[in-house]
Amino acid sequence: METLEKRISYRFNNRSYLMQALTHSSFANERNNGSKSNERMEFLGDSVLSLITSQFLFETYPDMPEGELSKFKASLVCTESLSGFASQICLGDYLFLGKGETLTGGAHRPSILEDAFESLIAAIYLDGGLEKAREFVLGFLRPALENHNINFKDYKTTLQEVIQQNPDQSINYVFVGSSGPDHDKVFEAEVRLNSNVIGRGKGKSKKSAEQAAAKEALKLMGLG
């Protein structure tokens, strides 16, 4: 734990937050002793990351329109980016994984690294507050911004821009299931216009499943 703390330049007051952030569900399920996985931490970390990234881009680009800010943000917090940030600190080396995940290379799987990175953000936030979490996140965002080329196609933002042309309509994303073993899970999402399904998609992470659903919706509209 001390080695990881040195890598992230943050020392925990309560290491139980760090332990939970590093505990994958496969490990917790195998132990079956009340150990908590990082799934709830991931949920919180995703929101904290979104706030920090949004404010950072808002302040860095005061003249950039909302649509471009959304696309830029999506490219910075996509699975590829977050798993890359996790790899920079060798986060996979510190994860508690089940036997199956360990044998199948879970420590290097992008979706697991993405979830662990978001969980680590949540752990720092719970232990040290928003400013400490911001320091941690910006340590990755600033260098990424300096070398960033936006090549990520943000179908969700494009679809949102299309739907916003009619103020009476709204869309939301619903996860309808997952399949496969823990080490190779595939998520399925639907995008709904009001209450009607207009696209379905699958992906190795929930974010990629949402993007795939939005892509299908755009294609069915003749815009893909």
The yes-or-no answer on residue 46 being catalytic is yes
At which residue do the structure tokens 């929101």 appear? 47
The CA distance from 2 to 43, in Å, is 25
Residue 143, token pair as written in the block: 């260098």
Closest CA to 145 of 42, 69, 79: 69
CA atoms within 13 A on the CB side of 36: 12
DSSP code per residue over 154-191: -HHHHHHHHHTTSTT--EEEEEEEEES-GGG-EEEEEE
Q: Active-site residue among 42, 115, 118, 127?
A: 118
Q: Which residues pair with 202 in a beta bridge?
A: 188
191's CB contacts (< 8 A; 6+ apart) are 159, 171, 172, 173, 197, 198, 199, 200, 201, 210, 213, 214, 216, 217
Q: Active-site residue among 46, 115, 182, 188?
A: 46
Task: Indicate if the alpha-carbon torsion angle 20, 115, 72, 75 is positive or negative.
Answer: positive
Sheet holding 196-203, edge to edge: 171-179, 186-193, 196-203
Active site residues: 46, 118
